[in-house]
Amino acid sequence: MLSLPDKPSLAVLPFQNLSGDPEQEYFTDGMVEEIITALSRIRWLFVIARNSSFAYKGQTIDVKWVGRELGVRYVLEGSVRKTVGRVRIAAQLIDAASGTHLWADRFDGSLEDVFDFQDQVALNVAGVIEPALQAAETSRSANRPTNDLTAYDLYLRAYAMALSSGARIPEALRLLDQAIERDPRYGPALAWAAPCSFRLVTDGRSRDPAADTRKCIDLARRALQVAGDDPSVLANAAAALAYFGEDIDAMMALIDRALALNPSFARGWQISATLRNWAGHPDLAIEHVETSFRLSPRARSGAGFAVIGVAHFLGRRFDEAVPRLQLAIQEDPTHPVAYRFLAACYAHMGRIAEARETVERLRDVSALVVPDASYLRNAEDRELFLSGLRLAAGETA
């Protein structure tokens, strides 16, 4: 029996061929190989090689036994049913220790372009499995004794806090600082501490914005020094540096590199969309958020709706911006960005009462109503946002 590695580990078992045609084994095996390749791009995940997992082909499988024998924490299994012109792929993710099902889904498609369909399924499976595994790892960490936290466990707890609510970001940052103190070169912790620091500034929760800005930039640059080919580290660091004035084209190139390393990185597509808005490319931003939604349809979507709302606002499509920004606020009532753009939107539409009511709601979550908007590189976009927000807040230019 093999011991578990230090990071999350997964085996993708051979899928069952339910087509009733032994000749279709090649298609089923090819599908699994594509999924293994896609999952292998997730840098924090240890994926067992095909040769080891395919040793179980044709066998009746006990998932708990496989987990112990291969030394993995999670197992992905599934089936392929191919009929004339169509195919259905079912997959399920299982905690090998407990046998608990963590995720299951199915994918239907046409075989007009079989290889394109294989690629899309592999990307979609990887896109939805990544957040499912993060949630499972976070739950596992939360149940550990708090007096024996490693840097990895501290990072997991902070990760969950930062994603759950803006109000918990100060607490998340304290845990990340502890993780970095334990391991000053721990890339994921450095890279998550950077956007947490800039959220303190942008959300109006920082006691010393200048110091937190310097801290954010330092953390992001340190993260890039140790990032290697970790897409998440690259994306988080790029977002933080871009916000505080780093060359936007260079930061978008970093995001593009992250997505080339892992095309199924759903949150990476969302970060890319954010930077496209900042660079003045709102239509491309919408495309990238929609890619994120397709890859991870069950993930919290508030931030994505905020990005789409901002994109429509920057495109002067105020009627389309309003419902997206309202959805973003509904999902995360603690994030000031959506309130600010919604207020500006209402002001430009002449709906001043609603604009001012939105500002009052904004004041409940942030003392900072009109922020520094230099992250919007297009001067006309910046003026559109600030003029609307000042009008909503009853301020003069």
CB-CB neighbours of 191 under 10 Å: 28
pLDDT tens-digit map of 152-188 = 888 888 887 877 777 788 889 999 999 999 888 888 8
* Strand (E) or helix (H) holding 122: helix 114-142
- Single residue among 221, 243, 263 that ends a domain in this structure: 263
Do 123 and 151 share a domain, yes or no? no
Pair (269, 259) in one structural domain: no
Which residues span the domain enclosing 244? 144-263
Dist. CA 53–CA 39, nearest whole Å:
14
Burial (CB < 10 A; 0-12, 13-18, 19+), residue 332, is: buried
Distance CA(126)–CA(79), nearest Å, equals 16
Q: What's the rounded Cα separation, in Å, for the pair 52 and 29?
A: 14
> What span, in angstroms and rounded, lies between the C-alpha atoms of 29 and 357?
58
**Between helices 187-202 and 169-182, what is the axis angle to 10°?**
150
What type of residue sits at position 185?
R
- How far apart (Å, rounded) are the C-alpha atoms in residues 160 and 156? 6
370 contacts 328 by C-beta, under 8 angstroms: no
The total number of structural domains that make up the chain: 3
**One domain, residues 314 and 365:** yes
Digit-coded pLDDT (tens) for 78-88: 888 877 778 88
**Is residue 178 domain-shared with residue 258, that is, in the same domain?**
yes
Are 259 and 286 part of one and the same domain? no
**What CATH code is carried by the domain that includes residue 270?**
1.25.40.10
Same domain, 115 and 151: no
pLDDT under 70 in the chain at which residues? 1-7, 23, 114-115, 138-149, 297-300, 396-397
Q: Which of 86, 102, 127 is the last residue of a domain?
A: 127
Token pair for 278: 């900042």
The pLDDT of residue 70 is: 83
3-class secondary-structure state, position 78: strand
> Is residue 2, in this structure, part of any structural domain at all?
no
